[in-house]
């Protein structure tokens, strides 16, 4: 049985005339009649009572008419759903990130995306940076947002937004006032992102080394937002992305660094085989710009 058989049957049931049904479908009457006979033979029962004067539905025909209309409606819905997914306006998108990413443009983009694409189910998965890459490659997430991501030929990588850094100091710290350069921090104790799974942490380490010192790290954390609390607890100072610094804390102060700018830019990564849905999302995160590699 094909959808064509159902459409032909519904047309005849509507008009109760093979001639009128054929005209509405734009087909010749003899092939239409043959298609209905084939359908009845496949089902194993008559769907229409035919006389020289009229055509009427049998009891089986009445019930089959209801079911056929439902099947055709569901088939049409399936077609529209497939088209929407192909166009990136419907479906499911799994986003990998660390929670601190939501402090920046990504949080607003998720809200706006839900309004622009209400048929999309956007799911957030918080995880460490190294886990994000593994999940992305395993196809368990569709797109990830990372600072200082690895170069990987298997993944598309674009800059989602630009960001600098801030230094977090306990309130009353001797460096809390005046101009501040990275080299001024050489004698301080640091709290850092966990070096084992964050390329951004390794990048900050390298920046310190280039400034002439090896940072003394007392504690490490998975989330950039946690570093502020560690600083407030007196465990050291920290270098954090500027958007994370906007999450104010009463017991710390935030200071920009002068001199060569340390970057905390965020990149979106996804598989080249990913559907248009991901491209639409990344495009919105980037403020409507084309998702071309930067």
Per-residue pLDDT tens digits for 74-104: 888 777 777 777 777 768 899 999 888 888 8
Pick the range with the lowest mean pLDDT from 20-29, 231-240, 284-293. 284-293
User: What is the rounded CA–CA span in Å between residue 229 and residue 168?
Assistant: 10
Q: Which of 218, 197, 222, 217 is closest to 205 using CA atoms?
A: 217
Q: Please state the rounded mean pLDDT for residues 124-136.
A: 91
Q: Please state the rounded mean pLDDT for residues 24-48.
A: 91
Q: Identify the residue whose tokens are 């710390």.
A: 252
Predicted local confidence at residue 288, as pLDDT:
60
Classify the C-alpha dihedral 271-275-277-279 as positive or negative.
positive
Instruction: Provide the 3-class DSSP secondary structure of residue 114.
Output: helix
Phi, psi dihedrals of residue 179, rounded to the nearest 5°: -70, 150
Q: Provide, rounded to the nearest whole percent, the portion of the chain with pLDDT above 90.
A: 61
Predicted local confidence at residue 249, as pLDDT:
85
In terms of pTM, does the model score above 0.85?
A: no
The Cα-based distances of 126 to 66, 144, 221 in angstroms read 47, 10, 14
Pick the range with the lowest mean pLDDT from 6-15, 86-95, 153-162. 86-95
Predicted local confidence at residue 291, as pLDDT:
44
| Residue 293 binned pLDDT confidence (cut-offs 50, 70, 90) | very low
Residue 4: other Cβ atoms inside 10 A? 12
Is the confidence at residue 122, as pLDDT, over 60?
Answer: yes
**pLDDT (tens digit per residue) in 167-193:** 999 999 999 887 899 999 999 999 999
> Are 288 and 180 contacting, i.e. CB atoms less than 8 angstroms apart?
no
Sheet hosting strand 91-97, strand order edge to edge: 120-126, 91-97, 143-147, 266-270, 156-161
Predicted local confidence at residue 159, as pLDDT:
94
Q: Where are the alpha helices (DSSP H) in the chain?
A: 3-15, 18-25, 29-43, 59-87, 105-116, 129-137, 199-210, 224-232, 276-285
User: What is the rounded CA–CA span in Å between residue 100 and residue 39?
Assistant: 60
Output the six-digit token pair for 112.
């706006």
């Amino acid at each position: 049985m094909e959808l064509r058989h159902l459409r032909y049957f519904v047309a005849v049931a509507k008009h109760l005339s093979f001639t009128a049904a054929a005209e509405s479908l734009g087909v010749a009457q003899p092939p239409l009649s043959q298609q209905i006979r084939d359908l009845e033979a496949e089902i194993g029962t008559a769907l229409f009572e035919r006389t020289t004067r009229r055509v009427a539905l049998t009891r089986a025909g009445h019930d089959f008419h209801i079911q056929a209309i439902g099947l055709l409606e569901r088939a049409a819905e399936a077609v529209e759903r497939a088209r929407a997914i192909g166009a990136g306006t419907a479906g499911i998108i799994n986003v990998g990130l660390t929670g601190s990413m939501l402090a920046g443009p990504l949080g607003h983009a998720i809200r706006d995306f839900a309004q622009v694409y209400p048929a999309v189910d956007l799911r957030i998965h918080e995880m460490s940076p190294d886990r994000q890459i593994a999940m992305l490659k395993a196809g368990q997430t569709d797109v990830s947002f990372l600072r200082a991501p690895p170069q990987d030929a298997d993944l598309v990588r674009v800059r989602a937004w630009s960001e600098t850094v801030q230094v977090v100091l306990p309130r009353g710290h001797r460096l809390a006032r005046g101009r501040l350069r990275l080299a001024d921090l050489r004698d301080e104790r640091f709290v850092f992102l966990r070096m084992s799974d964050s390329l951004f942490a390794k990048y900050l380490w390298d920046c310190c080394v280039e400034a002439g010192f090896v940072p003394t790290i007392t504690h490490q954390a998975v989330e950039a937002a946690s570093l502020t609390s560690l600083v407030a607890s007196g465990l050291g100072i920290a270098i954090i992305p500027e958007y994370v610094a906007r999450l104010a804390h009463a017991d710390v102060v935030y200071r920009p660094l002068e001199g060569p700018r340390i970057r905390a830019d965020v990149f979106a990564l996804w598989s080249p085989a990913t559907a248009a849905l991901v491209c639409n999302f990344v495009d919105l995160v980037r403020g409507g710009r084309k998702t071309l590699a930067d």
